[in-house]
Structure 1
Amino acid sequence: MKRTFTLAAALAAGLVAAPAGAQSLRIAHGYPAQSIIGATYDHFAEYVEANSDIEAEVFALTLLDLRQASPGLTSGVADVSMVLTPYFQNEFSEANFPADLSMAANIDGRPTSIAAAMAGAMMEYIIFNCPDCLMQIAAQNQVYLATAPGTQFSLLCREPLASKADVEGKVLRSSTNTFRRWTEAMGATASSISGNEMYDGLNQGLIDCTVNAVGEMSNFSLFDVVKGITLAVPGGTFGGTGIGHFNLGYWADLSVEQREMMARGMAETAAFMSTAYVRQAQTDLAKAREMGIEVLEPDASLAEATAAFTRADVATIVQLYTEQYGVQDAQAKAETFQALLAKWKGLTDPLDPTDQAALAELLWTEVLGKVDYETYGFN
């Protein structure tokens, strides 16, 4: 049964304290400190300390791992974290629905930066177009501010793969249902091991490839276990990277001015992470080539099979979320999100994909700057 938390109800239930203004911020995430995500949250902590009297501390892969992030926020172990919502399919089915549509960003031509287009579309959809998303997030004692996807997903493999025939029979670590369906459509077997297990899985031969952004080569130190990178297949990105999930009690304890400051910081931070993934992909590809790792484009058989899958999979996602997760009006929601994707492709395609300041300004003026921080999270 869905629950909607108003501020009065949350206070009465003892979930939150009366707003007074917080003095500290505990940030926990399940990535190594020396990673894009580590740098992202360091950036957010620095923003908070530079723009308030709040002291921020970042805990990298110590308090919470990737699967502990959401329950850790719910229970107040941390004040803010990255929640990878596809790890929690039932709890966040409404937000996972548009996240699973990320491959649709490529249907009418690939965006200049899928990271930027998806970030804006996800944030605008969840905050202004999906009250069901907000109710599910509130039911986890959380408040949502930002999503920051990475670059187009590629195949990071133990050996070079270029054709559909090369992929057939392989075991691919696929992080979402969409990428698992693509994997199976290509004749391969999907594995759902966590991101923290990718290195060992590749090193021990438990998986042949991981479906990930190229920037994860550095994030998870994969250069020693990857021998081939096949670019932009399956494409799409991990749209469920909720970098701006706050504990509801902590959010309520902030003053309105502090909430607005946190939101502005999250616009900056989402832009930091999305553009950092673009820069990291460029750097990692150069390093891979220097190390003798083969970097390939997919051949026609793999590219055409992927394009056909992408077009057909939108209807599959609508049906799956309707039947398996009980999402109401899924077709209309899919159309709303695809319209937002088109809008954000139009807004971001003219930008340099590494221009952090320009993307941050768009995320603020188009989304987070329009929020009423006196009531947001409580109604």
Structure 2
Amino acid sequence: MNGKHFASLALVCTVLFGALSGAADARTLRYAIGHPPSSFVVDVAKQYAETVEEQSDGDLKVRVFPMSLLNFAETSGGVRDGMADIGFVLTSYFPSEFPHSNVAVEASMLVGLLGEKARGREGMIFMGALSEFTFFKCPECNQEFKKQNQVYTGSTGGTSYGLVCNKPVETEADLKGMRLRVGAANWSRWAEAVGASPVTMSANEMFEALSQGVVSCIVLASPEIHNFGLTDVVTDINMDVPGGPMPIAGTNINADTWKGLSEEQRNVMLRAASVFSAGVPWIYHQHEDRILSEAKERGVNIHHADAALIEKNRAFIEQDMQHIAEDYKARYGVENGEALIKEFRALLEKWTALVQDVDSEEALADLYWREIFSKVDVGQHGL
């Protein structure tokens, strides 16, 4: 073989070996999410996975496991134990594990007091405020995640919750004696305040409960009617009360997985997390009106709360902030609940102003990245 041919062969071998080595070095992370495969949230989870691969130039990949690897109730423990590298963690399901985090999570109904500027932007406001709060204003929150062998990388969630029912609701009297499925403690307290009975069950059990009359209403965001396949069992909807989104630590990472990433790769995960945090509220807000319009076309009755119920709702929200602070102090030893809520309310006001000019999902993700995620010190966070 002459020198020219040998050099050519060597070059080919070098390129081939490099390609094989790169493929071998690529790491795939398992992402557990309790939503069904057809849900809007899983669509955004796929965008998250694509962003990780693009931003890492293929060195990192994410495989999304919708409603298969772990359900909602199993996800926190599964991420802790390494059954998944990343998980969609509903901290409200685990009040004793995440008490400081849940002080802000349970304050979600505060968006109902922000006025007209917040209308139609509640999810965008809340997820920006909660992400900033958790990263930078609540060291106790991050310690809670650390105790569960998890690293927090941002919050997400959809639009404000209303009443998705098989009976009409317009007044407080209509709610008396009703059984309402609730997914968090704040809505449970609200149910009791209006004379209803709160019922706790997995989100995966909602269809059967509503179809069989086990509950009269589910406290839920309207796009979840699609996500959880409730279309055929909903006859009446009132989105005026109680309000507030359901925030989630959407992309928590197993602490050992996080420590095994380079700082550059951690930045990639945060960039992707900013896309995910923005994507869920954005897509929910885009589908909110469409879901309600389609429901109306199918004959579902769209109701509105009367003035007395609206006022009752607002008064409850204010009173409940004091209750949250006192309750978490008594039950979980959270000594600074009032201060945390005050800090969080200020952030809600800040984010109400910040999202006013947001006109696209990309713009929201860029805003989250610029204002929050890019400021996280990956050489310290979660370590």
TM-score norm. by structure 2 comes to 0.90
Q: How much has 1:149 moved relative to structure 2? A: 1.9
Measured against aligned partners, the alpha-carbon deviations of 1:199-218 in whole angstroms (never above 9, x if no partner) come to: 11101111110001111000
Q: Is the Cα contact below 8 Å between 2:26 and 2:61 reproduced in 1?
A: no
Q: How much has 1:374 moved relative to structure 2? A: 1.6
Q: Secondary structure at the match of 1:236?
A: coil
Instruction: Work out which of the two has the higher radius of gyration on C-alpha atoms and give 1 or 2.
Output: 2
Q: Provide the C-alpha distance between the structure 1 equivalents of 2:221 and 2:262, rounded to a whole number of angstroms.
A: 37
Q: Provide the C-alpha distance between the structure 1 equivalents of 2:71 and 2:151, rounded to a whole number of angstroms.
A: 20
Q: Is the Cα contact below 8 Å between 1:148 and 1:243 reproduced in 2?
A: yes
Q: Secondary structure at the match of 1:244?
A: strand
What is the aligned partner in structure 1 of residue 181 from structure 2? 173
What is the aligned partner in structure 2 of residue 23 from structure 1? 27
What is the aligned partner in structure 1 of residue 141 from structure 2? 133
The partner residue of 1:70 within 56, 72, 76 is 76
What is the aligned partner in structure 2 of residue 4 from structure 1? none
The partner residue of 1:95 within 94, 101, 126 is 101
Q: Which amino acid aligns with 2:372?
A: V
- Mapping for residues 173-252 of structure 1, pairs under 5 Å: 173-239=181-247, 241-252=248-259
Q: Provide the C-alpha distance between the structure 1 equivalents of 2:37 and 2:364, rounded to a whole number of angstroms.
A: 24
Q: Is the Cα contact below 8 Å between 1:152 and 1:232 reproduced in 2?
A: no
What is the aligned partner in structure 1 of residue 366 from structure 2? 361
Q: Provide the C-alpha distance between the structure 2 equivalents of 1:185 and 1:22, rounded to a whole number of angstroms.
A: 53
Q: Which amino acid aligns with 2:313?
A: T
What is the aligned partner in structure 2 of residue 271 from structure 1? 278
Q: Secondary structure at the match of 1:224?
A: helix
Residue 377 of structure 1 pairs with residue 382 of structure 2: yes
Q: Provide the C-alpha distance between the structure 2 equivalents of 1:365 and 1:281, rounded to a whole number of angstroms.
A: 27
Q: Secondary structure at the match of 1:25?
A: strand
Q: Provide the C-alpha distance between the structure 2 equivalents of 1:191 and 1:350, rounded to a whole number of angstroms.
A: 39
Measured against aligned partners, the alpha-carbon deviations of 1:90-140 in whole angstroms (never above 9, x if no partner) come to: 001111110111111222415131101111111111110111000000000
Q: Which amino acid aligns with 2:108?
A: S
Q: Which amino acid aligns with 1:348?
A: V
Q: Provide the C-alpha distance between the structure 2 equivalents of 1:242 and 1:36, rounded to a whole number of angstroms.
A: 17
Which ranges of structure 2 fall in alignment gaps of 5 or more residues?
A: 1-24
The partner residue of 2:298 within 288, 291, 299 is 291
Q: How much has 1:232 moved relative to structure 2? A: 2.6
Q: Secondary structure at the match of 2:215?
A: coil
Q: How much has 1:283 moved relative to structure 2? A: 2.0
Q: Is the Cα contact below 8 Å between 1:119 and 1:147 reproduced in 2?
A: yes
Q: How much has 1:57 moved relative to structure 2? A: 1.1
Q: Is the Cα contact below 8 Å between 2:30 and 2:62 reproduced in 1?
A: yes
Q: Is the Cα contact below 8 Å between 1:145 and 1:245 reproduced in 2?
A: yes
What is the aligned partner in structure 2 of residue 152 from structure 1? 160
What is the aligned partner in structure 2 of residue 7 from structure 1? none
Measured against aligned partners, the alpha-carbon deviations of 1:29-75 in whole angstroms (never above 9, x if no partner) come to: 11101001211211111111222222321111111000000000001
Q: Which amino acid aligns with 2:276?
A: T
Q: Provide the C-alpha distance between the structure 2 equivalents of 1:64 and 1:233, rounded to a whole number of angstroms.
A: 31
Q: Secondary structure at the match of 2:95?
A: coil
Q: Which amino acid aligns with 1:172?
A: L
Q: Provide the C-alpha distance between the structure 1 equivalents of 2:332 and 2:357, rounded to a whole number of angstroms.
A: 37
Which ranges of structure 1 fall in alignment gaps of 5 or more residues?
A: 1-20
What is the aligned partner in structure 2 of residue 280 from structure 1? 287
Q: Provide the C-alpha distance between the structure 2 equivalents of 1:232 and 1:90, rounded to a whole number of angstroms.
A: 31
Q: How much has 1:22 moved relative to structure 2? A: 6.5
Q: How much has 1:366 moved relative to structure 2? A: 0.9
Measured against aligned partners, the alpha-carbon deviations of 1:171-216 in whole angstroms (never above 9, x if no partner) come to: 0011111101110111000001111111111011111100011110
Q: Provide the C-alpha distance between the structure 2 equivalents of 1:251 and 1:63, rounded to a whole number of angstroms.
A: 20
The partner residue of 1:39 within 36, 43, 61 is 43
Q: How much has 1:351 moved relative to structure 2? A: 2.8
Q: Provide the C-alpha distance between the structure 2 equivalents of 1:328 and 1:63, rounded to a whole number of angstroms.
A: 37
Q: Provide the C-alpha distance between the structure 1 equivalents of 2:161 and 2:70, rounded to a whole number of angstroms.
A: 25
The partner residue of 1:335 within 334, 342, 356 is 342
Q: Provide the C-alpha distance between the structure 2 equivalents of 1:218 and 1:159, rounded to a whole number of angstroms.
A: 19
Q: Provide the C-alpha distance between the structure 1 equivalents of 2:62 and 2:267, rounded to a whole number of angstroms.
A: 16
Q: Which amino acid aligns with 2:381?
A: Y
Paired-residue identity, %: 36
